């Protein structure tokens, strides 16, 4: 069942809202003229009416039980933010130029996560378009946009969205998002949209006035869980599934990143993720274009991506935090909070070879067994990163890796990520070593809520990253500090790092052994004492061998490579990359004694 306002043309508009327990619902038009349009309820709890003399731009509320005025839960645009009226939008005015666009296969994606408000000085969809060419030149072929569902005020990470169908007004609204997607497709770049199906934001959230969208059966970090399996959950499930299809159909989005699916609870026979993937796959078949769902999850549970025919949910890919946590611990030496689970070099070799470090192993941080075995799943079913909005922004000072480790370590991190047999995700600015922080920021209008957010963040930092002065999430300065310093891309070490990222991405696309994300034809070993990881990957056509040195001293080692003429392809210690000079030969025969510079990596091909 489609929900919200659906403009039919010639001044006719269909309104549909799910409110199964209400006795009276009407459309309250407030502009261009004030009038009330009664609605009729069907046997499934949906209130409907097709109204005349309603044109695009019309502002309206729903009037509930004769008195309570509320915005449309499925509003397509909230021009006056979360407390104001909803606006009728003509969904068919966009002149799309992507008819020939067939998308980017998941296994070929180089994902670039960005936040609209801080990616450019203007902080709008329009302002992103001029930068697409540089992202394309970097090698990025998919951008992942942090949530753009309408949130209160004009600055927010996006996870406080209260209107999941409404495109954030301060970013430019519906047409501007469509223009961005259209421009991305012209540049050969797919668009992944981050969506939140585990909670609604606290301000402007009137969804409970319409129906049983919440259940007290389960608790989440944000309060009661979304009602996916309790009484009258049918309309709730429909609301979220239709939202996913809406982004694919109306906005030509290529993939959705599903936020924190571990906070989505459903004990029904058909899990909401199962039904969602089922519906998306059906739409994909209908459109003749592969559409993807990518789940963020900290459960290490392969049921998320297992095929539906085998009892899984059929999601196309999921995140693997173990890769990030292990690499971060190795590079920074931090071992507090959940990082205490990842304090061995061997865990990185495990993460590269087996995906999950914790595959039903005891987790000291969780104090229980955790995870499942992912060795039978292909590399393109997992997204990995060395930084993302959470891992940076949930530090008290919002420090990026560039402020925590040396330049040599930054290069080493880049090599570890882009040579890995998974789908890599870059966080905006990572490619040139951006040093500006990415802090947590909000612009709520409810002062009590602002104070609650401040206190909540302070409480969160009791266990993590205690150093430094607390950054006020409500301050505009906090938001302004988080904007990228784009000009640094062409300066000194930043330019060198950018060129290294470009080279690694190009190698990933041209060397068959790197291009094929196959974990069966992969060997990984680790020398714990020397903090040295060696990887060999191969296909019928090619072989690569690379070594990662996380030691702050040079290390002599016996190469874990079979016999043959191994040619050096890239060494991060080379002077070309502002290194001190390579100690590795241009050619070696396999299983030789070699010496590698501190905090560096080198790639060889056969």
Contact call for residues 67 and 253 (beta carbons, < 8 A): no
CA distance linking residue 71 with residue 63, whole number of Å: 9
Contact call for residues 396 and 336 (beta carbons, < 8 A): no
The question of whether 586 is a catalytic residue gets the answer no
Contact call for residues 530 and 555 (beta carbons, < 8 A): yes
Contact call for residues 185 and 174 (beta carbons, < 8 A): no
Kindly provide the residue ranges of all beta strands, DSSP E only, lying in 88-130, ordered along the sequence.
111-114
Tokens of residue 38, six digits: 């009664």
Which residue in 254, 259, 341, 430 is the catalytic one? 259
SS3 284: helix
List phi, psi (to 5°) of 540: -65, -25
CA distance linking residue 335 with residue 342, whole number of Å: 8
SS3 427: strand
Residue with tokens 């609604």, as numbered in its chain: 200
CA distance linking residue 170 with residue 441, whole number of Å: 15
CA distance linking residue 368 with residue 363, whole number of Å: 6
Which residue in 230, 296, 322, 434 is the catalytic one? 296
CA distance linking residue 582 with residue 162, whole number of Å: 54
Contacts of 137 (CB under 8 A, 6+ apart): 502
CA distance linking residue 2 with residue 9, whole number of Å: 17
Contact call for residues 313 and 277 (beta carbons, < 8 A): yes
Under DSSP, the state recorded for 577 is G
CA distance linking residue 151 with residue 442, whole number of Å: 9
CA distance linking residue 5 with residue 311, whole number of Å: 37
Helical pair 234-251 and 173-186, crossing angle rounded to 10 deg = 50
CA distance linking residue 157 with residue 155, whole number of Å: 7
Closest to 125 measured CA to CA, from 160, 170, 188: 170
The question of whether 298 is a catalytic residue gets the answer no
CA distance linking residue 423 with residue 444, whole number of Å: 35
Tokens of residue 336, six digits: 């507090």
List phi, psi (to 5°) of 16: -140, 130
Contact call for residues 24 and 15 (beta carbons, < 8 A): no
Please name every residue paired with 547 in a beta bridge, in sequence order, or none if there are none: 534, 602
In whole angstroms, how far apart are CA 549 and each of 256, 451, 530, 575? 36, 45, 8, 17
Widest Cα–Cα separation across the chain: 84
List phi, psi (to 5°) of 238: -60, -40
Task: Give the gyration radius of the chain's Cα atoms.
Answer: 25
Contact call for residues 272 and 264 (beta carbons, < 8 A): yes
Active site residues: 259, 296
């Amino acid at each position: 069942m489609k929900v919200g306002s659906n403009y039919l043309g010639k001044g006719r508009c269909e309104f549909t809202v799910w409110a199964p327990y209400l006795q009276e619902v009407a459309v309250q038009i407030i502009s261009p003229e004030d009038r009330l349009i009664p609605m009729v309820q069907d046997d499934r709890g949906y209130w409907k009416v097709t109204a005349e003399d309603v044109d695009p731009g019309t502002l309206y509320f729903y009037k509930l039980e004769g008195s309570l005025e509320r915005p449309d839960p499925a509003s397509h645009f909230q021009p006056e933010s979360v407390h104001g009226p909803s606006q009728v939008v003509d969904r068919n005015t966009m002149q799309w130029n992507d008819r020939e666009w067939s998308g980017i296969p998941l296994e070929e994606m180089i994902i670039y996560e960005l936040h609209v408000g801080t990616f450019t000085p203007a902080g709008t969809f329009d302002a992103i378009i001029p930068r697409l060419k540089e992202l394309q030149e970097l090698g990025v072929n998919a951008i992942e946009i942090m949530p753009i569902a309408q949130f209160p005020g004009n600055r927010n990470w996006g996870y406080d969205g209260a209107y999941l169908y409404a495109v954030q007004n301060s970013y430019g609204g519906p047409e501007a998002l469509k223009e961005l997607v259209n421009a991305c497709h012209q540049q050969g770049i797919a668009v992944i949209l981050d969506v939140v199906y585990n909670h609604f934001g606290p301000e402007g959230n009137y969804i409970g006035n319409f129906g049983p969208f919440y259940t007290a059966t389960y608790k989440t970090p944000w309060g009661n869980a979304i009602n996916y399996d309790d009484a009258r959950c049918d309309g709730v499930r429909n609301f979220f599934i239709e939202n996913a299809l809406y982004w694919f159909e109306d906005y030509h989005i290529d993939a959705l990143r599903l936020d924190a699916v571990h906070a989505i609870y459903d004990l029904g026979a058909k899990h909401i993720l199962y039904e969602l993937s089922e519906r998306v796959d059906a739409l994909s078949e209908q459109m003749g274009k592969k559409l993807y769902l990518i789940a963020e999850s900290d459960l290490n549970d392969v049921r998320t991506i297992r095929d539906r025919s085998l009892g899984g949910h059929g999601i196309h890919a999921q995140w693997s935090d173990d890769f990030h946590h292990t690499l971060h611990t190795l590079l920074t030496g931090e071992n507090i909070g959940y990082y205490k689970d990842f304090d061995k070099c061997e865990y990185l070799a495990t993460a590269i070879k087996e995906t999950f470090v914790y595959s039903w192993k005891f987790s000291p941080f969780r104090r229980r067994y955790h995870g499942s075995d992912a060795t039978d799943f292909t590399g393109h079913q997992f997204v990995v990163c060395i930084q993302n909005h959470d891992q940076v922004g949930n530090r008290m000072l919002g420090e990026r890796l560039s402020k925590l480790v040396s330049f040599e370590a930054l290069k080493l991190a880049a090599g570890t990520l882009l040579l890995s047999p998974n789908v890599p995700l870059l966080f905006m600015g990572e490619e040139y070593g951006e040093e500006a922080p990415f802090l947590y920021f909000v612009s709520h209008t409810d002062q009590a809520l602002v104070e609650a957010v401040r206190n909540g963040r302070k409480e969160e930092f009791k266990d993590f990253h205690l150093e430094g002065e607390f950054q006020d999430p409500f301050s505009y300065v906090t938001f302004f500090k988080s904007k990228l310093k784009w000009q640094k891309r062409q300066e000194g070490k930043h330019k060198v790092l950018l060129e290294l990222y470009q080279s690694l991405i190009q190698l990933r696309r041209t060397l068959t052994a790197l291009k094929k994300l196959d974990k069966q034809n992969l060997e990984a070993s680790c020398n714990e004492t020397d903090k040295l990881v060696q990887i060999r990957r191969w296909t019928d056509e090619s072989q690569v061998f690379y070594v990662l040195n996380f030691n702050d001293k040079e290390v002599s080692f016996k190469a874990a490579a079979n016999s043959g003429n191994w040619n050096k392809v890239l060494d991060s210690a080379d002077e070309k990359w502002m290194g001190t000079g390579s100690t590795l030969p241009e050619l070696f025969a396999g299983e030789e004694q070699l010496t590698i510079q501190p905090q560096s990596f080198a790639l060889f091909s056969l």
